[in-house]
Chain A
């Protein structure tokens, strides 16, 4: 069965500290993986995506993610967080075949400590 797991419901980090948000997936075919961010009261915005090639992908706002096939993981990282990074972050696995659909994780809420 297709699934995406984000084990951390809520994370608080200090401004300027590094960040890693975890994502594990289960998918029967070649996974297309995504990280989205949702600021309060807003829709979802794509941060980055991975289809193939280099397993370390760069996204917007200084975020990066690393695909590890052996661990079925796609963790999101940022070297130094800013107060404006406070938001909800969603990992998702996308369709490859015509019978598939996008599956989202339950999200991780990020709070920034001044």
Chain B
């Protein structure tokens, strides 16, 4: 158990819908990262937050957004969902802003029908 929790574990929804994925980092970790794992793209970095502020952006679509709250949990919002958004979404956390070990949560498996 990495100490990072993600909910829900599975999510099935329809095209055009909006969903919210939730992540709680390890106790004491200030950085939260979101990654997407799909069969065709592999594991890709989406976005990083540090202590409530956005720090880095990767291949995140404009239909996706995230935020980190004062209690350090984070949410990833996916809207206008398409079939191609079906993937495993991971949250990771680490202590400092950059460069240290990232610990991954169990992931949320999103299926868009």
Do A and B associate with each other?
A: no
Interface of A with B (CB < 8 Å)? none
Interface of B with A (CB < 8 Å)? none
